[in-house]
Amino acid sequence: MLSSVQVARFVAHGFLRLDGVVPAEMNTEALGVFAGDLPVVPYGTPVPKAFPEDSFARRLVELPSVAGALRSLVGPDPTVDHHFVHTRQPHEGSAQPLHADALIDVRPDAFDVQLMYYPQDVTADMGGTLVVPGSHLRRINESDTGRYQNLLGQTRLTCTAGTVMLLHHGIWHGGRRNDSDTVRHMYKIRFNPTVPQVRLWDVTDLNSPAVSEELGRTFPWYEGATGRLEIHNRIQLWRTLSGDADFDIDYWATRIANRPALRSQA
């Protein structure tokens, strides 16, 4: 299970990276699996039905570190929204525009998690997945950000084989162009929660000062003024996830929620 500090880091960054957690033999197996056709999974299918026992995908999501992180973020018994293998051909000469997946999603009290699995070493010339840290709570619709070429502080994934990333559904991202001689694969599964996402992780460090430190992070692309709204958005999300309606950083949310007239009428 994740710790409170790790979940707070996810809330701030919009993603969590698990490096090299998939065994080498599974990475080798994955390349063969991804060369064929994946089974069709209808939207909203429970994991056991979507991925039969002993299937590659089932074994992937049941790896202890992956299963624990998923349960900490979306809870037990999530459903599979969809799954897909993204393949980038060598020297293909194009990249995905920067985007967020699907329609604009304004849920304040729930989020989906997208698992991205990389069965190979991903080097800089292979492109990798570009992610803009801290972008997930700034709501956009699909490729509204496609005209942006580079944002200060963006990350382009390089990693060892067997790395898994878990992303908030709203993160701005895009597959970069593959300039190598190697075919690059990335396997994505989107999970929908079926329970309230409240205190699903190991909460023994819930009151650690490091939680507020993580939630108060800023990123280089944030504007001086508007960027502060991102921290306010995180405070609101953390209040939901932690079940602590009074959580705050520097009195920001408490100050703007102060409405004495409503209290006097109670």
pLDDT at residue 264 above 80? no
Tell me what the mean pLDDT of segment 252-263 comes to. 87
pLDDT tens-digit map of 114-132: 999 999 999 999 989 999 9
CATH of domain 4-192: 2.60.120.620
Q: What residue spans define the domains of the chain?
A: 4-192
Enclosing H/E stretch for 211: helix 209-215
Q: How far is CA 142 from CA 9, 44, 101, 203, 251, in A?
A: 24, 21, 6, 34, 33
Tell me what the mean pLDDT of segment 93-103 comes to. 89
CA distance 65 to 165: 12
Residue 215 sits at φ, ψ, to 5 deg, of -70, -20
195 near 163, Cβ under 8 Å?
A: no
Q: How far is CA 65 from CA 2, 18, 38, 85, in A?
A: 9, 8, 24, 22
- Cα 51 from chain centre: 21
Question: 58-67, 84-93, 101-110, 160-169: which range is least confident on average?
Answer: 101-110
DSSP secondary structure string for all residues of 18-29: ETT-S-HHHHHH
Helix (H/G/I), strand (E/B), else coil: 80: strand
10 near 168, Cβ under 8 Å?
A: yes
Quote the mean pLDDT of the chain.
95
- Cα 63 from chain centre: 18
